[in-house]
Amino acid sequence: MLAAFSAPLPGAAGARQELRQQYDPIIQACARQFNVPADLIHSIIRAESAYDSAAVSPKGAVGLMQIMPETATQYGVADSFDPAENIKGGVKYLKDLIKLFNGNTAKVLAAYNAGQEALKKFHGIPPYAETREYIRRVMASYPKPFITGGVPIRKFVDASGQHVFTNDPYYHLNGRKNRD
């Protein structure tokens, strides 16, 4: 009987996929801006809120990326329920954690879930069951042990012969539009 209540609702996966697609342009833009892999951002949102922009945790974390009010303030998020602001603030925080933990995925995720102080206190990933399960869930869809830049740097020679380095995959198309 209890299994009926915990089973996913029919169509829930389809609805989640629609929400994923709805937020993907914001996620892709933040991934490019902060050089954080979009797949990682999606994995965190899926684990944190299942793409529910109105989600609020018992501990007070809010929105898609479940950012705490103090973190929201620190990263300039005025409205944590606004998907674009929430994702941008969460990705900025994530970028700082990636730098702090040298891209070690498990440590970055542990810090995102339990806080940086917990990692300092335990000299690594804390023994919290919730945090270890969180790491497992996120890494099930983002299995890379290290987080590298989310967007590759491209090099090409433009029409004037200058060498161009960019992380914008559409740079050459945008330049062509401006020339036409």
Tell me the torsion sign for CA atoms 38, 94, 116, 107.
positive
- Convert 78-113 into a string of H (helix), E (strand) and C (coil): CCCCCHHHHHHHHHHHHHHHHHHCCCEHHHHHHHHH
Residues assigned a catalytic role: 48
Q: State the Cα–Cα distance between residues 72 and 80, nearest whole angstrom.
A: 7
User: Token pair of 86, please?
Assistant: 């929430």
Q: State the Cα–Cα distance between residues 83 and 79, nearest whole angstrom.
A: 9
Give yes or no for a contact between 117 and 127, defined as CB atoms under 8 angstroms apart.
no
